[in-house]
Amino acid sequence: MPITKQRFIIVGVLYNTGTEEIKLKKSNCEFLLVTQPEGYNEWLKELKDRIQTAQQRSTLAVNRELLHLYWQIGKEILSRQNRAGWGSKVIDRLAHDLQNSFPGMKGFSRANLMYMRSFAKAWKEEQIVQQAVGQLPWGHNLVLLTKLKTEQKRLSYAQSALDNGWSRNVLTIHIESMLLERKGKAVTNFKKTLPKDQSDLAIESLKDPYKFDFLSIGSEAAEKEIETAMVSHITQFLLELGAGFAYVGRQVHLEVGGDDFFIDLLFYHLKLRCYVVIEIKAGKFKPDQLGQLGFYLTTIDHKLKSKQDNPTIGLLLCKSKNKVVAEYALGDNNQPMGIAEYKLEDVLPEELKTSLPTIEQIEKEMERK
């Protein structure tokens, strides 16, 4: 495709480039613009009309309409490049023309047009904007595109983000920590010890492993050090625990028969409507540790639990565990408990950190076509 090289010096004056007049906003700038291919002007006009129509839609549906528009633009970029053999340079031209036509509307940078192309490539069907994806802001969708490989994972994280009101940063944190892959993986006896409607929610409320790399302490840290760091980073700790957990206290004092006992961490779960006792063990799980946890559950049920509260749940966090041993240890236990590991260091697989190619890689791929 022929390229027209234009150099402009004076700001705010109309210059005739030989193809159309372009109003410049920068001085002494050099542009490389492709000559419009056949059918380009008609297509550009259609896009302008479509953009103007989208701007006029109800503000209640602005986000969905914008994503729909982005999907359509991305789809047509893909289609025209595949059908007519247009290279990546046409996107430079398109970005320039759309930005000039809609100076007050953001989103038509070259980079964003490339993301629109990736958006349409990732979601083959236009109906995707009617699902959870269509109810999330564009920034959230870019996180889903760049951080996840499969459509199913993108849909799952999109639905969770919508259900829980995650910000873009929180969504990124949960994807990078593989939240949904860990959710419901703790070894528990909830199906046996809780009513079904509560057991299903309780199972989903726990995960395995818990990732505490934000604590910035060594992997050999002692129990008290871990506990102290968790309270010092309570916001991140609650984020890792998940929706519904409310912090009650650390080293919560219990007096039983004149003896003093102290719970490592005590929470209340707003959705389960019950207390949650968390005990930390800086070593491999041992079955006898459940005895102490069970004692705390019984004490909380007698001293703190109200008539409206459900039975207290226990979570034992250990550095490592033998899953079979954990399952056997919980087998005959009639108190609701879960066992999960914690990780103090980031052990994310490298392939999860970015899934989609960068814009530069996409361009190189298109140049080879």
Digit-by-digit pLDDT tens for the chain (369 residues) are 554 444 444 334 444 444 444 444 444 555 566 677 888 888 888 888 888 777 655 543 678 888 989 999 999 999 888 887 777 788 889 999 999 998 888 889 999 999 999 999 999 888 888 888 888 999 999 999 999 999 999 999 999 998 888 899 989 989 988 999 999 999 999 999 999 889 999 999 999 999 888 787 776 778 888 888 888 888 888 888 888 999 999 999 999 999 999 999 999 999 999 999 999 998 899 999 999 999 999 999 999 999 999 999 999 999 999 999 999 999 989 999 999 999 886 544 444 444 455 555 555 555 554
* Tens-place pLDDT, residues 15-33: 444 444 444 444 455 556 6
CATH of domain 181-343: 3.40.1350.10
The ranges assigned to domains in the chain are 1-130, 133-176, 181-343
DSSP string, 16-77: E-SS-EEE-SSSSEEEEEEPPPTTHHHHHHHHHHHHHHHHTS-GGGHHHHHHHHHHHHHHHH
Give CA–CA dist 195/213, Å, rounded: 34
100 exposed, middle or buried (CB, 10 Å; 0-12, 13-18, 19+)?
Answer: middle
Instruction: Please report the pLDDT score of residue 30 as a whole number.
Output: 53
Whether pTM exceeds 0.85:
no
Instruction: Please report the pLDDT score of residue 362 as a whole number.
Output: 52
Instruction: Please report the pLDDT score of residue 327 as a whole number.
Output: 95
Instruction: Please report the pLDDT score of residue 9 as a whole number.
Output: 40
Q: How far is CA 225 from CA 208, 222, 261, 280, 290, in A?
A: 21, 5, 19, 10, 21
Which token pair is 130?
Answer: 């009617």
Instruction: Please report the pLDDT score of residue 124 as a whole number.
Output: 87
C-alpha dihedral, 111 to 114 to 118 to 123, nearest 10°: 100
Instruction: Please report the pLDDT score of residue 11 as a whole number.
Output: 39
Give CA–CA dist 296/105, Å, rounded: 59
